[in-house]
C-alpha cells in the first residue's frame, strides 16, 4: 500500500493520537513517537500521528510560509518508519482553521483518541487559542489523558523544524542532520541536462526542483535511492552532488549527482538524494582543467565521508 493510501485511510479505532506538523520528522518529533509507542504498548492502542496538508502557514500566511523540509508523502513514510501504525492526514483549509478548540477536540474523539501526546507549545483551534492546559481540560471529562513531552535539546539548542531549516541554509549540514537524527533528503526526477559533466569524465544525473528545502550551494557526499528501481537494478547508489549555479559555466541553479561505479541511463527515473556530508562550498574555477581536477578530489573525499557515515542515519534513505 502506498504511503498516501495508508495515511488517508487511517481507521477511527482507538489510538494514541499525536497531532502536529512534523515537518522534517526530526529528533523532537521522533521523541513524541517514542512516547506514543510506549503508551500504545501499555494499552494495546494503535499509534496515529495527525498531520496537516498543506502546512497551516501555507494557508493562513502564505507570504511567510517556510519552504517545507519534507513533502506529505515523504513525511508520512518517515512517520511510519519512526513507529506510527498509520498516519492521519488532515486536509487543512480556512474552514478547518476556523473551528473552535472544542470542535478540534471533538474531531479527535471522533477519530478514536484514547490518549494524546503533544509538545508543551502545542496550540489548536481558531487563532491558535487552545493550549495544552485547554486541551487537558477538554479531554479530562472523556477520560482521555494528555501526555506532554518535553522538548529535545541538542547542545543546549531546542530541536525544531526552524533550527533544521536554518542549519541547512547556512551550509551546516552535519548540524542539520544531528537535529534530524537522520540524513536530510530530497526527491526529484532525472531530466536531460547540458551533458557537460559527461565531457568532463563525470556524468551527472540532473534533478528537477524537488519542492522541498535544498541545502546551501556546495558539494556533498550523497547516498541515493532509485525509487522506481526494477528488481534487477541496484536500488542504493552513492555519489557526489553539486548544488548551485555552476559558476564556472554561468548556469542556473540545479542539483547534479555523479554516481560512483554506475553506467547507465536514469532519465525519467525518480531519485531520493540523501545529503550525508558537505565536502566544500561551490566556487568558480579559472579553467575547465582545474574544475576537473577538483571534481576528482571531491569524489575521493566523498567516498571517505560515506565510509565514515552513521549507518543509523543512512537507514532512513
Copy the grid coordinates of residue 159.
530541536
What is the tens place of the pLDDT at every residue in 290-317?
Answer: 888 999 999 999 999 999 999 999 999 9
142 and 245 inside one domain: no
Supply the pLDDT for residue 286: 80
93 and 26 inside one domain: yes
Residue 8 has pLDDT above 50, yes or no: no
**Domain-embedded: residue 166:** no
Q: What is d(CA 248, CA 230) in angstroms, rounded to the nearest whole number?
A: 36
In angstroms, the first-to-last Cα distance of the chain is 19
Model confidence band, residue 192 (pLDDT cutoffs 50, 70, 90): confident
Q: What angle do CA 240, 246, 247 make, to 5 degrees?
A: 140
144 and 16 inside one domain: yes
Q: What is d(CA 85, CA 76) in angstroms, rounded to the nearest whole number?
A: 11
**Domain-embedded: residue 103:** yes
Supply the pLDDT for residue 9: 43
204 and 289 inside one domain: yes
**Domain-embedded: residue 209:** yes
Number of domains in the chain: 2
How far, in whole angstroms, is CA 52 from its chain's centroid?
A: 14
CATH number at residue 282: 2.40.30.30
What's the chain's Rg over C-alpha atoms?
22
Q: What angle do CA 199, 204, 210 make, to 5 degrees?
A: 145
Q: Which domain holds residue 234?
A: 183-314
Supply the pLDDT for residue 232: 64
247 and 212 inside one domain: yes
What is the tens place of the pLDDT at every residue in 207-231?
Answer: 998 889 999 999 999 999 999 876 6
Residue 200 has pLDDT above 70, yes or no: no
Residues 46/39, Cβ–Cβ less than 8 Å: no
Supply the pLDDT for residue 254: 86
What is the tens place of the pLDDT at every residue in 233-265?
Answer: 667 899 999 999 765 545 567 899 999 998 888
Q: What is d(CA 201, CA 260) in angstroms, rounded to the nearest whole number?
A: 12
89 and 137 inside one domain: yes
Q: What is d(CA 217, CA 235) in angstroms, rounded to the nearest whole number?
A: 26
What is the tens place of the pLDDT at every residue in 127-155?
Answer: 999 999 999 999 999 999 999 999 999 99
Q: What is d(CA 12, CA 86) in angstroms, rounded to the nearest whole number?
A: 11
98 and 210 inside one domain: no
Residue 157 has pLDDT above 90, yes or no: yes
69 and 124 inside one domain: yes
30 and 146 inside one domain: yes
**Domain-embedded: residue 145:** yes
Sign of CA dihedral 230, 233, 237, 242: negative
What is the tens place of the pLDDT at every residue in 267-294?
Answer: 999 999 999 999 999 888 888 888 889 9
Q: What is d(CA 272, CA 317) in angstroms, rounded to the nearest whole number?
A: 7
Q: What is d(CA 125, CA 102) in angstroms, rounded to the nearest whole number?
A: 8
Q: Which residues pair with 145 in a beta bridge?
A: 115
CATH number at residue 16: 3.40.50.620
Q: What is the largest CA-CA distance in the chain?
A: 73
Copy the grid coordinates of residue 304.
571517505
Residues 245/251, Cβ–Cβ less than 8 Å: yes
What is the tens place of the pLDDT at every residue in 26-54?
Answer: 999 999 999 999 999 999 999 999 999 99
**Domain-embedded: residue 173:** no
151 and 198 inside one domain: no
Amino acid at each position: 500500500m502506498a504511503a498516501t493510501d495508508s495515511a488517508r485511510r487511517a481507521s477511527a479505532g482507538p489510538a494514541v493520537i499525536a497531532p502536529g506538523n512534523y515537518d522534517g520528522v526530526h529528533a523532537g518529533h521522533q521523541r513524541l513517537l517514542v512516547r506514543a509507542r510506549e503508551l500504545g504498548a501499555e494499552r494495546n492502542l494503535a499509534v496515529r500521528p495527525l498531520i496537516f496538508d498543506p502546512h497551516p502557514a501555507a494557508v493562513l500566511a502564505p507570504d511567510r510560509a517556510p519552504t517545507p523540509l519534507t513533502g506529505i508523502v515523504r513525511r508520512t513514510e518517515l512517520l511510519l518508519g519512526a513507529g506510527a501504525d498509520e498516519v492521519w492526514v488532515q486536509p487543512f483549509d480556512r474552514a478547518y482553521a476556523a473551528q473552535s478548540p472544542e470542535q478540534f477536540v471533538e474531531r479527535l474523539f471522533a477519530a478514536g483518541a484514547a490518549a494524546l501526546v503533544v509538545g508543551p507549545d502545542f496550540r489548536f483551534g481558531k487563532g491558535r487559542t487552545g493550549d495544552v492546559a485547554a486541551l487537558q481540560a477538554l479531554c479530562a471529562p472523556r477520560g482521555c489523558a494528555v501526555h506532554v513531552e518535553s522538548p529535545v535539546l541538542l547542545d543546549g539548542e531546542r530541536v525544531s523544524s526552524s533550527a533544521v531549516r536554518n542549519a541547512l541554509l547556512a551550509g551546516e549540514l552535519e548540524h542539520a542532520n544531528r537535529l534530524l537524527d537522520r540524513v536530510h533528503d530530497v526527491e526529484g526526477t532525472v531530466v536531460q541536462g547540458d551533458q557537460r559533466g559527461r565531457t568532463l569524465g563525470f556524468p551527472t544525473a540532473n534533478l528537477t526542483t524537488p519542492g522541498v528545502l535544498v541545502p546551501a550551494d556546495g558539494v556533498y557526499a550523497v547516498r541515493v535511492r532509485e525509487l522506481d528501481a526494477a528488481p534487477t537494478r541496484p536500488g542504493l547508489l552513492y555519489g557526489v552532488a553539486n548544488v548551485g549555479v555552476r559558476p564556472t559555466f554561468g548556469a542556473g541553479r540545479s542539483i547534479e549527482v555523479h554516481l560512483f561505479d554506475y553506467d547507465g541511463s536514469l532519465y525519467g527515473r525518480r531519485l531520493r538524494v540523501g545529503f550525508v556530508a558537505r565536502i566544500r562550498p561551490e566556487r568558480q574555477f579559472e579553467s575547465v582543467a582545474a574544475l576537473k581536477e577538483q571534481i576528482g578530489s571531491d569524489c575521493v573525499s566523498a567516498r571517505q565521508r560515506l565510509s565514515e557515515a552513521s549507518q543509523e542515519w543512512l537507514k532512513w534513505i
